[in-house]
Structure 1
Amino acid sequence: MTRKGVWSRLRLTSLRLRLVVVFGLVALTAAVSASGIAYWLNREAVLTRAQDAVLRDFEQEMQNRAGSLSAAPTQDELQYTAGQMADSGQRFAVLLVARDADGRTVYGSSGGLGGFSLSDVPASLRTAVNRRQQVTAANSHAYHLYWQRMVEDDTPYLVAGARVTGGGPTGYLLKSLEPEAKDLNSLAWSLGIATGLALIGSALLAQALATTVLKPVHRLGVAARRLGEGKLDTRLRVSGTDELADLSRTFNSAAEALEKRVADMAARESSSRRFVADMSHELRTPLTAITAVTEVLEDELEFEGGGFDPMIEPAVRLVVSETRRLNDLVENLMEVTRFDAGTARLVLDDVDLADQITACIDARAWLDAVELDAERGIHAQVDPRRLDVILANLIGNALKHGGSPVRVSVTAVNEENPEVVIAVRDHGPGIPEDVLPHVFDRFYKASASRPRSEGSGLGLSIALANAHIHGGEITAANSPDGGAVFTLRLPQDDPALTEPGPEDPDAEGSDNGKDAKGQS
């Protein structure tokens, strides 16, 4: 999987994860809140119910049994009464405190819970129980029943105390709330399990919803990638009436419009290429005849005493020059048409670049105007004819607009992807900065005053196209020491290049360096 594909998949998974996390947090918050409220309400209800039952029973026992004791009971009487009070249905421990006839403090305990003593009663509760209240119309009793919950050794207890009005004993109870605590713990576990199940259910629901929501988005992403790859017939299946369905319909409409627009442009482009190709082919037949005639006229011009009238001779020379220019233009148009149609092919060969450049210069009689700095033995897999077209255009362009001497250097760059670098430098005024971005444009000429210059305006664009099908590149720049530098980079052995065999025999045209560099 490509890096882009992995990144897209991670983003999709991240969105799915965010949906699951959000659903889980919402469910967890709701479940914890509901469980907490339910636990608190049930806890209060259970404890209040148990507490009220114990206090009600204790208060009744204090009135019936402790209230029947004498004002100065003995310890045995207190002990017996405490035991009777503890035998009630609530099963709590009882401690009775009173003063005997001698004024001593005596205690009577039911003996439950390992011996219930006064030290087990919080001091604050004892103080509240023994505090005498003022009797008023709103308060008819001098003493009241007080209670308190406490925890000892992780066991909850209920402690309460009351005093018999009229000088009777003071009674305290101690009731273990452990059964109620176990019930509340069981309730807490049940609520926790319910919360966990709710969280799991919400995660599964979020996963299902995320799949439902993200599946159309994923399909849309796949369709968009296919559309970007040029598969313009890609469409989405639309179902439903929601926003995602509207998005799919919009995508289909856009894809259909794009497909129609591209088809129209392709048809117009194909028609234009066919027109140029047909026109070029049709022009070749009359041009062949015209060229033959102009060659005869040119031979006559070069022959001393050709017999041409001095008034006619300039016209004959113009016809010869323009015929040659027209022939070059037709050949270049056919070459451009092949590049545009994608039918240009390479016939590769292992070439010594120094020999190839020397042959190019020698064939055009440029030996005196070009300095070659290239060691023999630098080889590359190239199409010799197309490399000759590139070199002829670059060197001829430099000679025409930069002036001699033109220096051509060749270096081999041994990096991860070995390539050769061919630099063509002239000693002219350089290329204006506003012209540099356009030097490889078709028919571009920097000077509007020279629309009929010798070049066709296609040479550099053809050179660049030939470099591209080799997997290379041509760049133009100005040298810091003056003059322009055109740099050709070609891979020495690109495995992506193939040898499809001999190419179209018509593919022999080049501009032979007669293209404008764009200088004024």
Structure 2
Amino acid sequence: MTPAGTDLEPTAQPVTGTDWHAYPKPIWRTSPKHWPDFWRRSIQARIVTGTLLMSAVVVFLVGWVMMSQVTDGVLESRRETAHAEAAAQVNRAQAELNAGDAPAAMEAVSQLVSNSNGGTFKAVVVPIDSVSSSTQATWVSSGVDPESVPQVLRSSVIADPSKLFDTYTTLKYQDGSTEPALVVGTQLRMESTNERFQMYLLFSLTPQAEVLGVVQRALLTAGLLLVLLLGAVAWLVTRQVVTPVRMARRIAERLAAGRLEERMQVRGTDDLARLAVSFNKMASNLQQQIRRLEELSRLQRRFVSDVSHELRTPLTTVRMAADLLHEAKDDFDPVSRRSVELMQNELNRFEALLADLLEISRFDAGAAALDLEDVDLRDIVARVLENHETLLARKGAEMLLDMPRPCRAQVDSRRIERILRNLIGNAIEHSEGRPIRITTASDEDAAAVAVRDHGIGFRAEEADLVFSRFWRADPARARTTGGTGLGLSIALEDARLHGGRLDAWGSPGEGAYFRLTLPRRPGVPLIGSPLPTRPPDASRVVPDINLVEVGSPYQKLTGDRGGAE
């Protein structure tokens, strides 16, 4: 609970306990094939992964820069030391060569190479040219392969006798072992014979390599620990933020499922706590509004049902009187006769409206039931067309039937006839005298009937209103069939009651297309339909916003026809 004295006290009893099913499973408990789904639905996983990747990149760059600087420093220090030592050895060797005759000088060079066996460097002395056979040998420290000196360095030493040249190489031994080394070379000259020699001193870099290896391992370990630490920090931080969001999602799902008493826990006074308080206030307001609307809807349904029943009694009396007057209308004057006919027509419409209101009230109360029988939908179509012969003749529309094979299903024939009566009646009324096509088809699981007209079609701005109760596309248009405005609404309910679907397609100037799909047997779920969603003769594709499906939470339909029965 929020501490006393703050403004964050929850507006309703918070939820206690934790519903672990509401949280995504950790990735280590998720099958690899579900990892893409885990990645898409988990903000925490994306943030932690992104933090780890960015941290790894930063640590790699920083480590690379630091390792480069340390390596350059260590090697440069060793290079300066090697140059100083090499210069001293070169001066000593050159002095020996200048001090005595050729045999003594050669002995001095050999002694220098021999002394290098236990020193900090290895030596290789190679004559460039000679005038006697005694100087044609190569002096090499014990065990060293002369090929350790790169040819590029040899060429540089031969070309310029005044400089010390160096390069990094691999020191090879005759036993096959190797180690990193720095080789420094220059040229020597014996004044007495004018002979020249290449002198190379190879300094081992193994100690430096070991130091650099220790530094590299330390940087790698520190970098790995730093990346893991940053990942753990990101996980903890995002968990603090994501957990209330997941809780809000869980509560929202429960609210959507009808559990209006659910509330979020409120802890502390931070922004997330204020978010929880605001969410709880919103949930409380929604609960009050939904309950108020439910009560209002219940009262409206009760009112419609009561009024419809109460009006039947006086209507029966009025009907009896009107029938008597209608039977004697030939004895009246023309004005009275016309009045009796108008009264009879309006009474017929009034009775139809009461019947539809009673049917709607049964749907609202969940009291509608099916009287199933195995029928051929073609027979129902034939009965409906027979009842519309007069209207069809008056409109002058041609009726085209595409019903080649039996189309049987277990349905409530009275309700299916009512659906087709609405669809066919609307098609005739809005056909503008153009042909109307009725198609039936069936497969193993479903049976379908489609009604296609080429009249005025649907308008997009009327998409959500076509199946609304008492709605008319054009209030100024005369009703030639005396509809009640509830026909298509009842058709939707009848199709839903069968577990079927009612799809509608329309395009301004191209007409409309209604497709009724029903399961052939009760309880069989519909997967598809034997007939297409759009008419095959549609000249252009109309977006899916022109489609309505029974049972879908989205009823998007463009239309210019009302709910006339």
Q: String of CA shifts for 1:394-438, please: whole Å, max 9, x gaps.
A: 3455566769999784511438x633114376xxx9346549855
Aligned residues: 462
**Aligned match of 2:74:** 42
Q: In structure 2, do the counterparts of structure 1 residues 419 and 255 end up closer, same or farther at CA, with 3 Å as the change threshold?
A: farther
Distance in 2, Cα, partners of 1:85 & 1:312: 145
Deviation at 1:42, TM superposition (A): 1.3
**Aligned match of 2:58:** 26
Distance in 2, Cα, partners of 1:368 & 1:70: 137
User: Unmatched 5+ residue regions in structure 2?
Assistant: 1-29, 173-180, 393-398, 527-560
Q: String of CA shifts for 1:64-88, please: whole Å, max 9, x gaps.
A: xx48x99654623762597389659
**Aligned match of 1:292:** 316
Are 1:277 and 2:306 an aligned pair? no
| Residue from 183, 205, 208 that aligns with 1:184 | 208
Deviation at 1:35, TM superposition (A): 1.6
Q: In structure 2, do the counterparts of structure 1 residues 124 and 351 end up closer, same or farther at CA, with 3 Å as the change threshold?
A: closer
Deviation at 1:297, TM superposition (A): 0.7
Q: String of CA shifts for 1:308-354, please: whole Å, max 9, x gaps.
A: 89877666665555455344334433433454566655454433323
What secondary structure is seen at the aligned counterpart in 2 of 1:388? helix
What secondary structure is seen at the aligned counterpart in 1 of 2:485? coil
Q: Write the mapping of 1:35-184 to structure 2, written as runs, cut at 5 A.
A: 35-53=67-85, 55-56=87-88, 66=95, 73=101, 75-76=103-104, 79=107, 83=111, 87=115, 90=119, 113=141, 125=157, 146=164, 148=166, 151=169, 154=172, 156-159=182-185, 174-177=200-203, 180-184=204-208
**Aligned match of 2:493:** 465
Are 1:352 and 2:384 an aligned pair? no
Q: What TM-score do you get using the length of structure 2 for normalisation? A: 0.61
Residues 160, 172 of structure 1: 8 Å contact kept: yes
Are 1:421 and 2:445 an aligned pair? no
What secondary structure is seen at the aligned counterpart in 1 of 2:409? strand
Distance in 2, Cα, partners of 1:306 & 1:369: 26
Distance in 2, Cα, partners of 1:256 & 1:125: 86
**Aligned match of 2:291:** 267
**Aligned match of 1:509:** none
Residues 424, 485 of structure 1: 8 Å contact kept: yes
Deviation at 1:201, TM superposition (A): 3.4
Are 1:197 and 2:221 an aligned pair? yes
Q: String of CA shifts for 1:19-60, please: whole Å, max 9, x gaps.
A: 43332222222222212221221122234334434545765x
Residues 294, 320 of structure 1: 8 Å contact kept: no
Distance in 2, Cα, partners of 1:115 & 1:285: 119
Are 1:227 and 2:248 an aligned pair? no
Are 1:391 and 2:431 an aligned pair? no
Residues 124, 200 of structure 2: 8 Å contact kept: yes
Residues 407, 424 of structure 1: 8 Å contact kept: yes
Deviation at 1:249, TM superposition (A): 5.7
Letter in 2 for 1:378: C
Residues 458, 508 of structure 2: 8 Å contact kept: no
Residues 395, 406 of structure 1: 8 Å contact kept: no
What secondary structure is seen at the aligned counterpart in 2 of 1:448? coil
Residues 399, 406 of structure 1: 8 Å contact kept: no
Are 1:456 and 2:484 an aligned pair? yes
What secondary structure is seen at the aligned counterpart in 2 of 1:298? helix
Are 1:441 and 2:468 an aligned pair? yes
Distance in 1, Cα, partners of 2:487 & 2:514: 13
Residues 402, 430 of structure 1: 8 Å contact kept: yes
Of 271-280 and 155-164, deviating more is 155-164
Distance in 1, Cα, partners of 2:169 & 2:98: 35
Distance in 2, Cα, partners of 1:468 & 1:290: 33
Deviation at 1:271, TM superposition (A): 3.4
Distance in 2, Cα, partners of 1:109 & 1:175: 17
Q: In structure 2, do the counterparts of structure 1 residues 171 and 472 end up closer, same or farther at CA, with 3 Å as the change threshold?
A: closer
Residues 85, 94 of structure 1: 8 Å contact kept: yes
What secondary structure is seen at the aligned counterpart in 1 of 2:205? helix
**Aligned match of 2:409:** 380
Residues 431, 455 of structure 2: 8 Å contact kept: yes
Q: String of CA shifts for 1:100-147, please: whole Å, max 9, x gaps.
A: xxx99997999661699xx99957657866x6xxxxxxxxxxxxx956
Distance in 2, Cα, partners of 1:361 & 1:115: 112
Residues 326, 341 of structure 2: 8 Å contact kept: no
Distance in 2, Cα, partners of 1:395 & 1:403: 14
What secondary structure is seen at the aligned counterpart in 2 of 1:490? strand
**Percent of aligned pairs sharing the same letter:** 24
What secondary structure is seen at the aligned counterpart in 1 of 2:467? coil
Deviation at 1:290, TM superposition (A): 0.9
Which of 1 and 2 has greater Rg?
A: 1
Q: In structure 2, do the counterparts of structure 1 residues 226 and 423 end up closer, same or farther at CA, with 3 Å as the change threshold?
A: farther
Residues 352, 484 of structure 2: 8 Å contact kept: yes
What secondary structure is seen at the aligned counterpart in 1 of 2:374? strand
Letter in 2 for 1:388: E
**Aligned match of 1:512:** none
Deviation at 1:280, TM superposition (A): 2.3
Residues 457, 511 of structure 2: 8 Å contact kept: no
Distance in 2, Cα, partners of 1:368 & 1:464: 26
Q: String of CA shifts for 1:191-234, please: whole Å, max 9, x gaps.
A: 44445435543553454345345544487468548736825867
Are 1:9 and 2:38 an aligned pair? yes
Distance in 2, Cα, partners of 1:518 & 1:285: 23
Deviation at 1:236, TM superposition (A): 6.5
Deviation at 1:9, TM superposition (A): 2.4
Q: In structure 2, do the counterparts of structure 1 residues 127 and 86 end up closer, same or farther at CA, with 3 Å as the change threshold?
A: farther
**Aligned match of 2:176:** none
Distance in 2, Cα, partners of 1:34 & 1:10: 35
Letter in 1 for 2:356: N
Deviation at 1:457, TM superposition (A): 1.4
Of 168-177 and 14-23, deviating more is 168-177
Residues 83, 110 of structure 1: 8 Å contact kept: no
Distance in 1, Cα, partners of 2:432 & 2:167: 110
Q: In structure 2, do the counterparts of structure 1 residues 358 and 262 end up closer, same or farther at CA, with 3 Å as the change threshold?
A: farther
**Aligned match of 2:177:** none
Residues 166, 182 of structure 2: 8 Å contact kept: no
**Aligned match of 1:490:** 518
**Aligned match of 1:336:** 360
Deviation at 1:366, TM superposition (A): 5.2
Residues 420, 492 of structure 1: 8 Å contact kept: no
Letter in 2 for 1:460: L
